Amino acid sequence: MNQSYRQIEGRNPVLEALRAGTEITKIYIELGIKVDERVGEILAICAKKHIAIEKKGWKNLHRMAMSKNCQGIIAFAQPIESHSLEHILKKNAEREKPGLVIVIPEALYEYNLGAIIRTCECAGADCVIINKRISLGVGVGRASMGAIEYVPIVTQNIHSSLAMLKEYGYKIFAAKAQVKKNYYDADLTGSIAIIIGSEDKGISITTDKYVDEYINIPMFGRINSLNMSVAGAVILYESVRQRLLKNCEKKA
């Protein structure tokens, strides 16, 4: 298959790609696969959109797979498009909508990146900014459960992205251990960007100059840190909670 296409594996990721209207050139399905609700919908959409389907035996299909379990389905689709950060920020400004942006300078594990993207989709984040060095491999799409088809991904230099966010009036937060302010005491209701530190190094000192406020996630056990995807989810949903509360107060 042409290397300009990306591989999508698993029933949910393939189904969400089809639902999202992602351009898919071909789908490989395991011979004799049990047609459950998701597989049935995949077959129906493919028939409607005239997407080629080829059946392969278990061994041949799993030889093609890049993940441990492709669930009997592999699709080849157009690469993930890199969105324009400026366009997203301008659109929010025109709608007078408080923005919610996630910034990921580094990610060692595809699962963590995919999990963050999934949480961002559920929380209604405007986009995820990733470093150009980060690869959106098949594991990212699989861990995101198809959310990567919906969340705008901005692939560009982190420093220029943070500078642009500041220009548009975004307040930039980053989680850091042993700072006084807990994340739930910070005002996360305006236009904000949250930097998620890497699994091994946390927040880089090179991004310090852009951070407006460091916030702490309290730890009460013997382990002194959270998985980066969990830390991101905790702060994201605190922002969602505060925004919903603020909207309720406005309506009261």
Shared-domain flag, residues 168 and 239: yes
Burial group, residue 68, by CB count within 10 angstroms (0-12, 13-18, 19+): exposed
In a domain? residue 91: yes
Shared-domain flag, residues 73 and 89: no
CB 141 within 8 A of CB 118: no
Sign of CA dihedral 15, 25, 83, 139: positive
Total domains in the chain come to 2
Distance CA 161, CA 193 (A): 10
Assigned token pair, 228: 């980066």
pLDDT along the chain (252 residues), means of 10: 78 96 95 94 96 94 90 94 94 92 91 95 96 89 94 95 96 89 95 86 76 92 86 96 90 74
The predicted-structure confidence for 112-138, as pLDDT tens digits, reads as follows 999 999 999 999 999 999 998 888 889
In a domain? residue 127: yes
Distance CA 163, CA 91 (A): 18
The CATH number assigned to the domain holding 71 equals 3.30.1330.30
The parent domain of residue 182 ranges over 85-251
| Residue in the structure block whose two tokens are 């904000």 | 192
DSSP 3-state of 28:
strand
The predicted-structure confidence for 192-219, as pLDDT tens digits, reads as follows 999 998 766 667 767 888 999 999 999 8
In a domain? residue 1: no
Model confidence, pTM: 0.90
